[in-house]
Every structure is written in C-alpha cells, then in structure tokens.
Chains A and B, each alone.
Chain A
Amino acid sequence: NAGVTQTPKFQVLKTGQSMTLQCAQDMNHEYMSWYRQDPGMGLRLIHYSVGAGITDQGEVPNGYNVSRSTTEDFPLRLLSAAPSQTSVYFCASSRSGQARDGYTFGSGTRLTVV
C-alpha cells in the first residue's frame, strides 16, 4: 500500500499563478483533508471531505478550492497564488468522517510563492 501520495514534493510559483496540488490515497478512507504548516503555527485545516461529492471549509479556506469526485483523490487548487501561501501543505486521510481515527499524512508539498 502506498498510503497517501502527494505530488509535487516541491513547487515554486510566481504571484498570481494557479496550480493544483494532488493527493491520492489507496486505503479506501472516507475522510480526507488538507492542512498547511507554517513555523510556530502547527497545522491548520484548509478544507476537508467526508466522502465523494462532499467538501467543507476548515480554519483557513480563503484562496483555496477543493473537489472530491472520487474516494481516492482530493486535489487542492490555488486560484491566484500569493506570497502568504508559501507553506508546507499536507494531505491527510482517515477511515471515518469523525475525528476519532488516527490520520495518515502524505509526505507534503513544499510551496514557495515569489
């Protein structure tokens, strides 16, 4: 099992560009989420999904879009990149839609916006 796979691992964008961070899991997990990690601020939830076709906003959703057309995939779209979006992005999945199962994280995407 690959677990949670994120691509790309590194990305540099210019301000105003758009891009999609990919996330795929092969564990048949219903729940998937995106976090960003900034120094000294822990992990902050951007968007999450409790199943195919269902998404919702987390703590810091502005500037990001998500969709969940399949159980396996949960891409994160940056609409118009800004320097404030420079961060490390983690995708995570868990078995159920309730926060009572441990999360499996991908290896992360390190994004720099210049």
Chain B
Amino acid sequence: GQQVMQIPQYQHVQEGEDFTTYCNSSTTLSNIQWYKQRPGGHPVFLIQLVKSGEVKKQKRLTFQFGEAKKNSSLHITATQTTDVGTYFCAGPSGSARQLTFGSGTQLTVLP
C-alpha cells in the first residue's frame, strides 16, 4: 500500500533559525495535507496542497508540493518557541477514502 515517509524524525533548532521537514510518497498524490500537533495535544489541520508545484504561505510557514506530486515540504522561517510540536504530512489512499499519515517530524526550539 501507499507509504508516506517523513524526514527528519527529530530536529532541534535555536530560536530564530529556519526549519524544514520533507515528505515523500511512494505513489502520486491527488493532494497532500499538513498537520501540527503540540506536545500532549491533538493534530490540527494546517493546509492542503492540490496542484503540481503549488506553493502556499501562512505567515512564517511555506508549504510546497512537488512537480510530480510525490513529495512536499514545510519550511518555517525564523522559528519561535510557539512552533514547538510535531508536524505531519498526510496523503489520501484506499480510493481516497483513507488518509495516510507520515511518521512526523518533532521540532524542538531552544530559547
């Protein structure tokens, strides 16, 4: 079945540094979603990308969808302590009625 791989698994950055997490799928995706989970919390939907090569921005967060629609990235500029958490990508599978999540990247921001 479809697999969604995320790297890195962990990332520690100094506050103010940039951060990037990468997501790769074994199959072409119709769309990709990104979620953030704060420590002890639940996943919260951030954004969905649909078009090949699409780039979307949310303040300091930049999301990209690859040209082949098999990979995606999330880049955070000038991290803040409020960015701490685990970031997941997710793509549809099983006739698009299921959402498969990557294993996540856990971000720690050191003050």
A: which residues have CB within 8 A of B? 31, 33, 35, 40-45, 48, 50, 56, 58-59, 90, 92, 97-108
Contact = CB atoms under 8 A, between A and B. Distances in A.
Interface of B: 1, 6, 9, 30-31, 33, 35, 41-45, 48, 50, 88, 90-94, 96-104
A34 to B, nearest CB: 12
A103 B103 contact: no
A42 B35 CA distance: 12
25 contacts: A31-B97, A35-B101, A43-B88, A43-B90, A43-B101, A45-B98, A45-B99, A56-B97, A59-B100, A90-B42, A92-B43, A97-B97, A99-B31, A99-B90, A99-B91, A99-B93, A99-B99, A100-B50, A100-B96, A101-B48, A102-B33, A102-B48, A105-B42, A106-B42, A108-B42
Given A40-B9, A42-B104, A102-B33, A107 B42 contact: yes
A97 B94 CA distance: 12
A103 B45 contact: yes
Contacts of B99: 33, 45, 99, 103
Contacts of B94: 58
A56 to B, nearest CB: 7
Q: Which 9 A-B pairs have the closest CB atoms?
A: A102-B45, A99-B92, A42-B103, A43-B101, A105-B42, A99-B99, A42-B101, A98-B96, A105-B43
Contact of B97 (A48, A103, A104): A48
B97 A50 contact: yes
